[in-house]
Amino acid sequence: MSLLADILGNASSGGIVGLIGGLTGGVLNYFQSKADRAFKLEEMKLTATLNAAKTAGDIALAREAGAAAAFTTSQKADLATQSSGWVSNLRGFTRPGLTWFFTAALFTIITVSVFAPNWLLDAPPLLEFGVTMITDTTGMMIAWWFGSRQIEKQTRTWGNSTASASVK
C-alpha cells in the first residue's frame, strides 16, 4: 500500500504544486498586463498632447505666414495707389487723427459732465444724440483698434490655444 500511497501522494502533490504555480503565473500575468495597459494609456495621452501642440504650432505658423503675406500685398497695393504726397499723408493721418479727435471730444464731454452735471437735461435731442454717438463711437474705436491683441490673449487664457495660436 505504500507504493500506491507514494504514487497518489506524488501525483497529488505535483498537481497541487502545478495548480499553485499556474495560479501564481496567472496573477502575475494579470498585474503585468495591467501595468502594460496603464503605460500604453499614458503614452497615448502624451502623444495626443504632443499632437495638439504640433497642430497649434502649425496653425500659428500658417497664421503668421498669412498675416505677413497679407501685409506685403497690402503694402504693394498701397504703393501702387499713391499718386501724390498729400494724399498719402492724409491717408496716414486718418486713423490717429480720428482717434485723437474722438478721444478729445469724449474727454470734453466727461469734463463738462463733471463740472456741470445737469447740462444735458434740457439739451435738444440732436445734442443728446451727438453725445451718445461720440461716446459710443469712441468706445468702439478704441476697442476695435487696440483690443484685438487683448482678445486673443484672453482666448488663450481661457484654454483655446488653437483658435488664437501665435508664434512667440
Residue at grid coordinates 461716446: 135
Residue 31 lies in a domain: no
CA distances from 143 to 100, 115, 131, 149 (A): 14, 27, 18, 10
Domain assignment of residue 131, given as a range: 85-162
CA distance 141 to 26: 72
Residue 43 lies in a domain: no
The structural domain count of the chain equals 1
Residue 93 lies in a domain: yes
Q: Which of 141, 138, 168 is nearest to 153 (CA)?
A: 168
The pTM for the full model equals 0.43
Give me the tens of pLDDT residue by residue for the chain, a chain 168 residues long. Answer: 566 666 656 656 666 666 677 778 778 888 888 888 888 989 898 888 888 888 887 887 888 888 888 888 887 877 776 666 777 788 778 888 988 999 999 999 888 888 888 877 778 888 888 889 999 999 888 888 777 777 777 766 666 555 555 545
Residue 113 lies in a domain: yes
Residue 76 lies in a domain: no
